[in-house]
Structure 1
Amino acid sequence: MRKLSLIVIGLLLVPTFLLTSCDQGDEPEVLTPAFTLMKDYMINNNLDIDKIITNADGEKFVVGAPAEADLASFLAKYYIIDIRSGTDFAKNHIEGAKNVTFKDILNEGAAAGSKPVLVVCYTGQTACYATALMRLYGYSHTRALKWGMSGWNTTTAGSWNNNIKDVAKGTPSWSYDKEIAPLVLSDPIISSLSQNGEAILKSRVEQAVQDGFKTVTNADVVANPSGYFINNFFSGADYIGFGHLTNAYRILPLTLASNSYKGLEPTPGAKVVTYCYTGQTSAVITACLRVLGYDAYSLTFGMNGLYHSNSAWTSNQWSVGSSVPKELPLVN
């Protein structure tokens, strides 16, 4: 009898449970995509791509080596980190510079305190990549030494002197066609359990630092341009005047706020390659794109490695005009 009573009570409670469940059964919360949260945070905090290229105080991501008369004030201004190998640093470096591995750049940003950081490498390209990541992390006054140690002294100029080339000249991979209409594609998908844009961004930057600088060579892209989604960071006039890699999309300007980034290929494994004149701006763009979730790469040495003898040059051509190494002092 007791057993029967328990069964009856249980049956009577079932409808109550179901009704209660229905009353509490709101629709599951729809989470905002991690990319959207990060994108909104970047736009609202002066961390859009254009603000990484030139920060809110008008400081571009690179600064050239100083005139000899200004050397003392230049050295006093910056907390200088040299990310070259320990062996090369020991041979010669800028007075006061600290040798730091690439993976420790975020820690050094904190160690710098209130001083702006100057990142130094061989050619300026890896330093620019590091600078972009540090700016994205909150060290907005970080800058890279333009041309790297190659621009400091002729003794350390080999990395640039040995890499100016004309690998694209006269090949089917070089075109003077008009601009290709930009595509409108979807956002990258970022995996994150966080619903905090700042936390997502910092985690993405930390991962990019651990992964290191991602590059492709000019020879590889020229040999197989269809194997890459190619971005050209030239002005409209230079896109035609210099010519460009076949099927390259011109992406200047490129920002999150304007949605111009939607012209980039977000599919995982689709190699998004950006090139510029020197490989330094493309390093900054590549850092931003990798953090945003693109499979992004920088084409090393830019136009200087693709078609250095091109007659359309007016600036940023290595070894011409002001783009030559200075004879500033080195210590060891």
Structure 2
Amino acid sequence: MKKLSVFFIGLFIPALLLTSCDKGDDPLEGEVVSTPAFELMADYMVENNLDINNILTNTDGQKFVTKAPAEDDLAAFLDTYYIMDIRSGDAYAESHIEGAHNVAFGDILTEAAKTTKPILVVCYSGQTACYATALLRLYGYSNTQALKWGMSGWNSKGADASWNKKTDDIAKGSPNWSYDAAPANIIYDDPVISTTLTNGEAILKERVEAAVAEGFKTISGGEVLATPGAYFINNYFSEQAYSDFGHISSAYRIYPLNLADDTYKALDPEANTIVTYCYTGQTSAVITATLNVLGYDAKSLVYGMNGLYHSNDAFSSNQWGVDSKPKDLPTVK
């Protein structure tokens, strides 16, 4: 009888150990398991047309940027928009678009609540304005656009203060500029967002407000080109452009990049810095703003391809000073 008891105990102990090991993996019956904040927010964004593709182009078909108008269309253009000029007070005082309101970047959400008109955000180069536009669209102001090229696209005086000084060819001949095929994308876990909120919309608004408070997060092309291995780099080009233009060594090509199709999972949430670059730094500003809201540590490479390899023979559009030049529109003081 004693031997039989020992036999049953021998069967019982391993079963108990196995049960104990599984306890942390699966919820117990009746246990409430909370949905991660990222998932709540991401689901809300997809369901409400706030996925990354909808921030780049809203459901009305409006892209995140709009060009300066032809001179004959200026009056109608000015009447259409509530214009936020987010440049410094000194730059605004010296010269600005008629009717524009000088707004600090940190006040864009408060200012947006003052109007029912479509919003136009204006800066020096268009990049900070695009970052602001993405955050405003995510916050619910879907009819927000940035002035493409900023004041540089408005007139030559604006261009002299920004874009005319910023094109460069630092990638030409660099050992860190490559024409190799893109590395295979890897699937990563979602970012972890810390919040006490349990509603997707509320989490999104909290995250946007935090991103506005932090301001535009950027990095120079020189920094990234010097040590590309220090960053998780995403070249936001088409496959053809990736090979024709060349790219920073080891740069991934995650394009498209959306929540709904899980393409975002190719981004590493534990990377020190995710750097996105495009042709002008304007699209990458939108992507970067959205990624920071989603919980990634992201920066936009300023001036994009124009600042890396402006004279590249493959350039056919969005090349500053070639197919894109300043207009000759008036400003006021």
User: If the length of structure 2 is used for normalisation, what is the TM-score?
Assistant: 0.90
Q: Which moved more, 1:242-251 or 1:200-209?
A: 242-251
Q: CA deviation at 1:109?
A: 1.2
1:64 aligns with 2:67: yes
Letter in 2 for 1:329: P
| Whole-Å separation in 1 of the counterparts to 2:176 and 2:297 | 22
2:223 paired residue among 195, 199, 220: 220
| Whole-Å separation in 2 of the counterparts to 1:95 and 1:102 | 19
1:6-41 superposed Cα distances (whole Å, 9 cap, x missing partner): xxxxxxxxxxxxxxxxxxx97442110000000000
1:235 paired residue among 220, 234, 238: 238
Q: Report SS of the residue matched to 1:250.
A: coil
1:138 paired residue among 123, 134, 140: 140
Q: Report SS of the residue matched to 2:240.
A: helix
1:178 aligns with 2:174: no
1:39 paired residue among 37, 42, 50: 42
Partner of 2:201: 198
Partner of 2:52: 49
1:101 paired residue among 99, 104, 122: 104
Partner of 2:330: 329
Partner of 2:10: none
Letter in 1 for 2:61: G
| Whole-Å separation in 1 of the counterparts to 2:145 and 2:157 | 23
| Whole-Å separation in 2 of the counterparts to 1:251 and 1:91 | 41
1:271-315 superposed Cα distances (whole Å, 9 cap, x missing partner): 000000000000000000000000000000000000000000110
Q: Report SS of the residue matched to 1:143.
A: strand
RMSD of the TM alignment (CA)? Answer: 1.0
| Whole-Å separation in 1 of the counterparts to 2:219 and 2:91 | 23
Letter in 2 for 1:168: A
Structure 1, gaps ≥5 residues long? 1-24
| Whole-Å separation in 2 of the counterparts to 1:153 and 1:320 | 15
1:245 aligns with 2:282: no
1:134-165 superposed Cα distances (whole Å, 9 cap, x missing partner): 00000000000000001100011121011100
| Whole-Å separation in 2 of the counterparts to 1:270 and 1:262 | 16
Task: Give runs of aligned pairs for residues 91-170 of structure 1, distance below 5 A.
Answer: 91-113=94-116, 115-158=117-160, 159-170=162-173
Partner of 1:9: none
| Whole-Å separation in 2 of the counterparts to 1:192 and 1:201 | 11
| Whole-Å separation in 2 of the counterparts to 1:218 and 1:40 | 34
Partner of 1:304: 306
Q: Which moved more, 1:39-48 or 1:149-158?
A: 149-158
| Whole-Å separation in 1 of the counterparts to 2:183 and 2:318 | 25
Structure 2, gaps ≥5 residues long? 1-27
Q: Report SS of the residue matched to 2:113.
A: helix
User: If the length of structure 1 is used for normalisation, what is the TM-score?
Assistant: 0.91
1:186-215 superposed Cα distances (whole Å, 9 cap, x missing partner): 000000111100000000000000000000
1:228-285 superposed Cα distances (whole Å, 9 cap, x missing partner): 0000110110000000110111121110000000000101x61000000000000000
Partner of 1:282: 284
| Whole-Å separation in 2 of the counterparts to 1:141 and 1:262 | 28
1:44-66 superposed Cα distances (whole Å, 9 cap, x missing partner): 00000000000011000000000
Letter in 1 for 2:99: G
Letter in 2 for 1:53: L
Report percent identity of matched pairs: 63
| Whole-Å separation in 2 of the counterparts to 1:151 and 1:328 | 9
Letter in 2 for 1:200: I
| Whole-Å separation in 2 of the counterparts to 1:38 and 1:216 | 27
| Whole-Å separation in 2 of the counterparts to 1:27 and 1:204 | 32
| Whole-Å separation in 2 of the counterparts to 1:88 and 1:301 | 20
